Amino acid sequence: MNQVERFEEVDAPPETVWNVLLELEDELRRTALSRSLEAVPVVGDRLGADRVPTGIGRAVFEPEVRIAEENRRLVRLERIGVPYALDSYHEFHLEPIDGGRRTRLLQRETARGALVPVLFDERRLGREFEDRNRLIRERSEPRTRA
């Protein structure tokens, strides 16, 4: 089992961060989806095919929502092929801090399966998580100030 996680503190309440997270997820998947995400994703929803770059080409994932707790947590399973070839759990956790005025955002990916040594690139994922977390912060904070 391999895991990558990155934190970001956001000067915005969890509700704002949640909305930005869903908007960003929708933007990232719009070309792969025929519909956009609901306000609250539903457990079991398939989010469409997602082609992800790897060290040896592009892998195709079909993310499935596993946990959707509005303003708190979104977890999806991304699987290549059959179970345990590469199963990857991608999580977003939003923890209220400073009396709910701010949010601690955690993005985590946990992968297991036979293809982990070939396809799981911890450094690349870490950079992508930092970039995405920063983008969520940059889009969330102005909404709070407005």
Q: Which residue has the higher pLDDT, 114 or 35?
A: 114
How does pLDDT run across 42-53, given as a tens digit for each residue? Answer: 666 555 545 454
CA of 65: how far to CAs of 40, 57, 90, 119, 137, in Å? 11, 25, 10, 22, 23
d(CA 80, CA 115): 9
Q: Distance between CA 123 and CA 83 in Å, rounded? A: 24
Position 36 scores a pLDDT of: 42
Residue 34 pLDDT level (bands cut at 50, 70, 90): very low
pLDDT band at 118 (very low <50, low <70, confident <90, very high): confident
Cα separation, 56 vs 86, in Å, equals 14
Q: How confident is the model at residue 98 (pLDDT cuts 50, 70, 90)?
A: very high
